[in-house]
Amino acid sequence: MPKDSGRGAPLGKLAVLGLQHVLVMYTGCVTVPLVFGAAAGLDAATIAVLINADLLVAGIITVIQGAGVGRVLGVRMPVMAGAAFTAVTPMILIAGEYGIQAVYGSMLAAGVFGLLVAWPFAKAVRFFPPLVSGIVITVVGLALIGVGVDLVVGSDPKAPDHAAPSRLALAAFVVVVILLVARFGRGFLAQSGVLLGLLAGTAVAVPLGLVDFSTARTADWLGVSAPFHFGAPEFPPVAVLSMCVVMLVLFAESTADLIAVAELTGKELTSADMARGLAADGLSGVLGGVMNAFVDTVFAQNVGLVTMTKVRSRHVATVAGAILVVLGLVPKLGALVAGLPEPVVGAAGLVMFATVAAVGIGTLRKVEFDGTSNLLIVAVSIGAGLAPEVAPDLYSRFPDGVQIVLGSPVTSATLVAFGLNLAFNGTGGPRNAPGAPAPSPAPALAASGSGSGSE
């Protein structure tokens, strides 16, 4: 796979490519503080503090993931970190039961837990051959498609413009722009299709009344939340345990996304690489607990952007992280980006989410199906993974801990694929189905060596 080191690239080019990554993940990142703040009964000014802190911590972790910190932190691949939806429900429950100080105390404790278990957890990488990683990556993309569609049609079914033809037409226009740029663009222009689609869609949305930059006009130019804004952290044991479970779930999700990026960049992902990447997730819990932010995970939608642009430079992600830090320090700029119309963001996301699924399908092409039970493993794993996506109440009568784990499509698919692969194939190649000839073993995810695509 070709290498794009990004070294020596003009700063302007890196900035544009980094901004494209930020635009793709921004809405998903700030949605978490908006949802949590509303559910916890916080006022608008306090929610704004959470948004600033959220962007600041996400930027710091993204810079660490791209640039790395010695042999301790950062996977050194083009990945973007952002607030994880998985943590929202337990945070809301903790806030209602114990208060906001317990939310950030348990997050801080879970972050320390994540730093401690990142290295042993990373040993599981060798149990992610193309059969498992392909299933998980496919489910990641398919599960996110609904997010893009919701942005296109609108999240409120009772709103006058819900699923309005104008919203659908605007989304279709954005997709067409992305396709035209991909078809006829050359060089840097071809790498900027998503950004051009977002800009063109926003321009068209102005006369439709779908653009609202009023928040940007009233936002402050500078601002950052003080550490422990809500007071000294508290550590109720049940809350801490719940957030530690969330951290393990996030590790499983990040593992799938890091494997996907490694597939795209041609990097041979070692257990040490994985551990450094997961440790950065753990650090986000520590920083989030101190700075009133949120625990971060690798954002899957940006995996799709790497696929589409074919820009595999970790330096682009590092610059994107720096942009997020600036947005976190300058609320007015962050509010300006937040003014992008939902159908425009959703259309771009829809293309990239589906691209992630296609990457997973491509990974599954490496798997030996003839004479094995691997096709059955794929079918059952994808079915189990998408079940909570199409039926959100599937596990609603189970304890909260079970809901957190099984309610995530990615986690469900990971657990089922991981377990079935061990049951049918062990740690080696696939076993024969009854009466079938022995196939050649499927290639496994590399667990050693240095990758050429990480630069």
Compute the average pLDDT of residues 54-72: 88
Q: Kindly give, in sequence order, each residue whose CB lies less than 8 Å from that of residue 395, ignoring residues fewer than 6 positions away.
A: 388, 402, 403, 406, 407
pLDDT band of 27, cuts 50, 70, 90: low
Tell me the per-residue pLDDT of 33-49, one tens digit each, with 9 for 90 and over. Answer: 866 776 677 776 677 78
Establish if 120 belongs to a structural domain: yes
Q: What is the pLDDT of residues 284-314, one digit of tens each?
A: 999 999 998 999 888 766 666 676 666 677 7
Q: Kindly state the DSSP code that residue 85 receives in the 8-state scheme.
A: G
Mean pLDDT for 116-132 is 82
- The better pLDDT of the pair 203, 401 is held by 203
Backbone angles phi, psi at 432, to 5 degrees: -70, 145
* 239-248: average pLDDT: 82
Q: Is residue 454 part of a domain?
A: no
Give strand pairing partners of 449: none
> Over 60: is that where the pLDDT of 5 sits?
no
Q: What is the pLDDT of residue 118?
A: 92
Question: Of 303, 253, 258, which is closest to residue 411 (Cα–Cα)?
Answer: 253
Tell me the average pLDDT across 98-115.
93
pLDDT of 257 above 90: no
| pLDDT recorded at residue 246 | 78
| Average pLDDT along the chain | 78
Whether residue 2 is contained in a domain is answered as no
d(CA 119, CA 122): 5
| Contact between residue 254 and residue 114 where contact means Cβ atoms under 8 Å apart | no
pLDDT exceeds cutoff 90 at 173: yes
The answer to whether position 330 is within a domain reads: yes
pLDDT of 451 above 50: no
Query: Whose CA is closest to 32, among 53, 10, 3?
Result: 53
Report yes or no: 413 and 381 within 8 Å, Cβ to Cβ. yes
How many CA atoms, within 13 angstroms, populate the side-chain half-sphere of residue 321?
A: 28
Which of 360, 338, 358, 388 has the alpha carbon at shortest distance from 146?
Answer: 388
Do the domain assignments include residue 132?
yes
- The predicted pLDDT at position 453 comes to 37
Q: Say how far apart CA 248 and CA 297 lie, in whole Å.
A: 11
Most confident of 7-16, 41-50, 115-124, 428-437: 115-124
SS (H, E, C) 159-183: CCCCCCHHHHHHHHHHHHHHHHHHH
Q: Would 45 be classed as within a structural domain? A: yes
Per the structure, the complete domain to which residue 394 belongs is given by 11-425
Residue 446 maps to a domain: no
Torsion angle of alpha carbons 50, 407, 79, 106, nearest 10°? 40
The H-or-E segment that residue 81 falls in is strand 81-83
Q: Specify the range with the lowest mean pLDDT, choosing from 12-21, 62-71, 196-205, 445-454.
A: 445-454
- Domain total for the chain? 1
Lowest-pLDDT range of 50-59, 145-154, 418-427, 429-438? 429-438
pTM reported for the whole predicted model? 0.68
Reported confidence tier of residue 278, pLDDT bands at 50, 70, 90:
very high
Confidence of residue 351 (pLDDT cuts 50, 70, 90): confident
Residue 28 has pLDDT above 80, yes or no: no
Q: Is residue 399 part of a domain?
A: yes
Please check the confidence at residue 94 and state whether its pLDDT lies above 70.
yes
pLDDT at 444 over 50: no
Question: What per-residue confidence (pLDDT) applies to 448?
Answer: 30
In 3D space, the residue among 148, 171, 135, 138 whose CA is nearest the CA of residue 421 turns out to be 135
Q: What is the pLDDT of residue 176?
A: 93
